[in-house]
Amino acid sequence: MSFYRSFFLVLITLFFTSTVLADGSIRADSHGPVGVMGEHMHKEGEWMFSYRYMQMEMDGNLEGSNSLSIDEVLQDYSVAPEKMSMAMHMLGAMYAPSNDLTLMVMLPVVNNEMDHSMEMAGGMGMMPMRSTFTTETDGLGDIKVGGLYRLHETSNSTLILNLSLSLPTGSIDEKDMTGMSMGSEVVLPYAMQVGSGTYDLRPGLTYNSHQATYSWGAQAIATLRLDENDNHYSLGDRLMTTIWYARPFAKSFSWSVRGAYEYWDDIDGESSKLSPMMKNMVPTADPDLRGGQRVDLATGINWIIPGSHSNRLAVEFIRSIYQDLNGPQLETDYSFVLGWQLSL
């Protein structure tokens, strides 16, 4: 066999191999880690439906980056938040009317639970009395509608403009009994509400790069409150930035590592549904003790279910490694996200 002939055979083999790879095997890391949203686009005419379950666990109080014990919080307040668990079911749909534009809608259903310790002053010469109580809220959260616009593309990278609007569909009047409400239901502090009550603009940028053996991406999304809600406050603006690295393995899997930084402001205004005295009794009712910043590290796995290139399962575990909070404010320990995605 002549040199030219073998060279030609190798070229043809390479050509068909790369065609098969580009055509037949969609990589699991063609979508980012499941905790990142709006990070991939679709081809014209494609639909995607998704379900995500997200849970965040908060435990203990921080003032700045220093831990405060329950006893320390109770020196200044009669109620101290101890733990909070936030669960979210999120349904999503994506549709691409063209290769340059992907539309998306996200519908969250939220469940919040907060455990508190409470101290009531005892009578003359008596010890103060400690007790605990839990409040719970749930319901439809704020629906988000928006789009992803392709700003720039090369053979292995994409730059996306993210723009969505968060609608005030979630309630800001959620009530429950508290340890101090004498058996009646009262409107709960800010963190227990399931909605923001405001129209929020969410602009952002996402960059994706796909190489032969790995991929990486980065995203920054801001949440800007456009107005004041019916209870005369608006939650603080937020900035979320994240960067990730992913590698395919075992044909239909990929694993990822990700870092994230999030900053959020205090609340503007003060809820007209909370008694002004309440912020002296419990820190969660103080609009000036809601802001902070946090650094997270995450690791996850994406899996394309073999046999059907349109079905994906993914999981991501997120650990908070640094926080600086206007406190006393509850500290985030960890969260996780489970997701299922179906492309049509």
Q: Which residues bind Cu ion (CB under 5 A)?
A: 48, 94
Angstrom CA distances, 123 to 77, 126, 223, stand at 18, 5, 48
Angstrom CA distances, 118 to 34, 48, 70, 90, 231, stand at 38, 47, 9, 34, 26
Nearer to Cu ion, 92 or 197 (CB): 92
Query: DSSP character for 24?
Result: H
Nearer to Cu ion, 48 or 118 (CB): 48
Q: Given the structure tokens 């929020």, which residue do they identify? A: 200
Nearer to Cu ion, 90 or 94 (CB): 94
Beta carbon of residue 325, minimum distance to Cu ion (angstroms, whole number): 33
Query: DSSP character for 149?
Result: E
Beta carbon of residue 316, minimum distance to Cu ion (angstroms, whole number): 16
Beta carbon of residue 306, minimum distance to Cu ion (angstroms, whole number): 20
Query: Distance (Å, rounded) from C-alpha 43 to C-alpha 100?
Result: 8
| Residue with nearest beta carbon to Cu ion | 48
Identify each DSSP E strand in the chain by its residue range. 47-64, 66-68, 79-98, 101-120, 129-140, 144-154, 157-166, 175-177, 185-187, 200-210, 215-225, 233-234, 238-249, 253-264, 268-269, 292-304, 311-343
Nearer to Cu ion, 48 or 192 (CB): 48
| Sequence letter at residue 108 | P
Nearer to Cu ion, 188 or 246 (CB): 246
Q: Who's near 105: CB < 8 A, 6+ residues apart?
A: 92, 93, 143, 144, 145, 146
Q: Given the structure tokens 């994230």, which residue do they identify? A: 260
Beta carbon of residue 40, minimum distance to Cu ion (angstroms, whole number): 6
Query: DSSP character for 23?
Result: H
Nearer to Cu ion, 79 or 96 (CB): 96
Nearer to Cu ion, 39 or 119 (CB): 39
Beta carbon of residue 42, minimum distance to Cu ion (angstroms, whole number): 6
Note whether 164 and 206 are within 8 A (CB): no
Beta carbon of residue 158, minimum distance to Cu ion (angstroms, whole number): 13
Beta carbon of residue 65, minimum distance to Cu ion (angstroms, whole number): 37
Most distant CA pair in the chain: distance in Å? Answer: 105
* Residue 256: strand, helix, or coil: strand
Beta carbon of residue 243, minimum distance to Cu ion (angstroms, whole number): 20
Nearer to Cu ion, 48 or 187 (CB): 48
